[in-house]
Amino acid sequence: MKKIWIIALSILIGACGVDDSITLTPTLRRMPTTTPLPLIPGAPTNTPPPLPTLPPTPAPVAYKIQKGDTLIAIASKFNVSLEAIDKLNPGLNPANLQPGQTILLPPDTQGLAAASIPLPAITPLPITLGTFYCSPTPSSSVICLSEFKNTGNTPILNLSAQVNLLNADNSPGRFPNAVAYSPLDVIPIGVSVPLAAMFPQAALSSNRVASSAMLTAESASALAERYVMLNVSGAAGSFSSSGYIINGSVINPASVEVKSVVIVATVYNSAGAVASYRKIILNGTIAPRGNTPFSITMAGISEVTRWAVIAQAHIR
């Protein structure tokens, strides 16, 4: 009996096998198509609105430095701040501007080129210039020297004077006029600065004098706080084989750091007139209450009765 059940079970399992000869062919059915709905007149669409057209960003304006320009005078004339000029011209040394040098100025509100803005005529401050004493130089030219002291009640910026070399009889000379500029950007009240005008083609055999007229002298009362006069300490002068040398140090009396240090040394002859002067510019900065040494050599000096040193710096 058990053998009969085993045989029957084997037949049943064999009947359940898969027939490999059967091939299944898939049938593809067409998907129903959809008819687009008609647009309703006046219905909103999904088209994004056009983006507004933005005006171009105003670009800084290039300005070419003219002879006699100072950064503080440029800022005053074009009605821009010194901070804005500093930001557009990193590393610019206000005390060492050169004619022909290009700097950037902020764009004006009307979009006009800053260099094309008509500048109003500025009447120079009513100040008096001293006599210019002229002497020949070893290079077959003539240098005329004088000194200006600010005896007014306001600091002065952009000081310049027109100088006319006179003939021996003090009549107007035949040489073109020259211009003398202040070695300091701002001349504080009570400070004296030397002035020099050079006549390169005016060979002379004797000393002369020159007449002068003020060209520019503006009030710096609104900008004077950006400059500080430094204290001169331990200065001493002596002759050497290379000329007259003045050594010393300058001290920053301000509570803030200063930069663009300008030092001017002036020597005088026995008549009390300016015999020569030299201006130097120190790189770097001076910390609050800090100091830095200097050395100035003036060649070709044979007589020095007295000398003076002044120093000015720009507040950062």
181-200 pLDDT tens trace: 999 989 999 999 999 999 98
pLDDT at 249: 98
pLDDT at 25: 54
pLDDT at 261: 95
Q: Distance between CA 192 and CA 273 in Å, rounded?
A: 13
pLDDT at 137: 86
pLDDT at 265: 98
Q: Distance between CA 312 and CA 72 in Å, rounded?
A: 14
The 10s digit of each residue's pLDDT in 246-296 is 999 999 999 999 998 999 999 999 999 999 999 999 989 999 999 999 999
Residue of 112 and 86 predicted with greater confidence: 86
Q: Distance between CA 270 and CA 285 in Å, rounded?
A: 37
The 10s digit of each residue's pLDDT in 89-144 is 887 877 678 888 999 888 863 333 444 444 445 667 888 898 999 998 888 889 99
pTM of full prediction above 0.75: no
What the block records as the tokens of 254 is 């301000």
> Residue 34: pLDDT band by 50, 70, 90 thresholds?
low
> Residue 18: pLDDT band by 50, 70, 90 thresholds?
very low
pLDDT at 315: 87
Q: Distance between CA 45 and CA 308 in Å, rounded?
A: 83
pLDDT at 109: 34
Name residues whose C-beta falls within 8 Å of residue 50's C-beta, 6 or more positions apart in sequence.
none
Average pLDDT over residues 41-61: 59
Share the mean pLDDT of the chain: 80
pLDDT at 8: 47
| Closest among 83, 64, 78 to 110, alpha carbons compared | 78
Structural domains of the chain sorted by starting position, each given as residue range(s) with its CATH number in brackets? 61-109 (3.10.350.10), 132-219 (2.60.40), 224-315 (2.60.40.1620)
Cβ-contact 160, 182 below 8 angstroms: yes
Report whether pLDDT(58) > 60. yes
pLDDT at 29: 59
Cβ atoms < 10 Å from Cβ of 55: 6
Residue of 287 and 175 predicted with greater confidence: 287
* CA count, 13 A, side-chain hemisphere, 222: 11
What the block records as the tokens of 90 is 């990193």
> How far from 51 is each of 43, 46, 54, 207, 283, CA to CA, in Å?
22, 15, 9, 76, 51
The 10s digit of each residue's pLDDT in 201-213 is 777 777 889 999 9
Residue of 40 and 178 predicted with greater confidence: 178
